[in-house]
Amino acid sequence: MILEQQLRKQLDTKDILLITHIVLGYPSFDVNREVIQQMVTNGVDCIEMQIPFSEPMADGPVILKANQDSLAAGTTVEECFVFAEEMTQRYDIPFLFMTYYNIIFAYGEEAFFKRSAKNRIKGLIIPDLPPEMAESFLEFAKTYQISPILIYTPTSTDQRMKELAGYGNGFIYCAARRGVTGKKSELGQDFDSYLARCRSATDLPLAVGFGIQNKEDIDVLKGKADMAVIGSRTITLVDTEGTEMVGSFIAGLR
């Protein structure tokens, strides 16, 4: 699909790509707007925009709080779509939606895909939707040319990884460890073995997330993965030091 082609073109000139994650509406759409501008200006290659959900089971305390605060402030799915359209028109990088299946089910599967395609969204990450239960979801993904991003974990068997790769497109999201987002991951020998298994199971690009926090982590990933995902770290940075610090942080990751 289109997303994989875009990423591979970017990989022709970079040794690793940077993906960042924001929670829409947290702490406000105005802050989201400022943060994305800082990210893109300083070299981010792809951005995950999370549509907030009340029970984000894959997310640790930082992103969980951001989801809850965004919803408490009244963020709606419609506002997320409007904001996404603004960002994809303004910046020439791939944007993804990350959310949970209840959001899509309530909106209507085809309506969600149709609106996402209109807003130039390139991929969807839905952690709580097993592909075996996603026949119509995957069909709509093909119809609207939006990549379904599947997730590997360290507990995934080799066979399961191959099965997931058959359903996915764009890239594979490799969770660096078991559990939820946020906590720093150990990228040692066990991780190298896990990533080697990921690589042997698919020809799709590999993105590593869950606990990637600094340049040292990203340097470890070079030559092993194609993309590094920075999530909780930038949200914490905005909370503690302000949006103006995001740009220098991103620039320092290269």
pLDDT tens readout for residues 200-222: 999 999 999 988 889 999 999 99
Confidence (pLDDT) at 176? 86
Distance CA 249, CA 229 (A): 14
The H or E element spanning position 112 is helix 109-118
Mapping DSSP onto H, E and C, the string for 2-69 reads: HHHHHHHHHHCCCCCEEEEEEECCCCCHHHHHHHHHHHHHCCCCEEEEECCCCCCCCCCHHHHHHHHH
Known catalytic residues? Answer: 48, 59
Residues 101-122 have a mean pLDDT of 98
Could you report the per-residue pLDDT of 187-204, keeping only the tens digit for each?
Answer: 668 899 999 999 999 999
Q: Is the pTM of this model over 0.85?
A: yes
248 neighbors 215 (Cβ within 8 angstroms): no
Task: Tell which wins on pLDDT, 1 or 139.
Answer: 139
Confidence (pLDDT) at 254? 84
Distance CA 241, CA 109 (A): 39
Domain limits, the chain? 2-245
The amino acid sitting at 233 is R
Confidence (pLDDT) at 210? 86
CATH superfamily of 2-245: Aldolase class I (3.20.20.70)
Distance CA 169, CA 145 (A): 10
Confidence (pLDDT) at 56? 85
Could you report the per-residue pLDDT of 31-77, keeping only the tens digit for each?
Answer: 999 999 999 999 999 999 999 999 888 777 899 999 999 999 999 99
Confidence (pLDDT) at 1? 61
pLDDT confidence tier of residue 181, bands split at 50, 70 and 90: very low
| Percentage above 90 pLDDT, the chain | 88
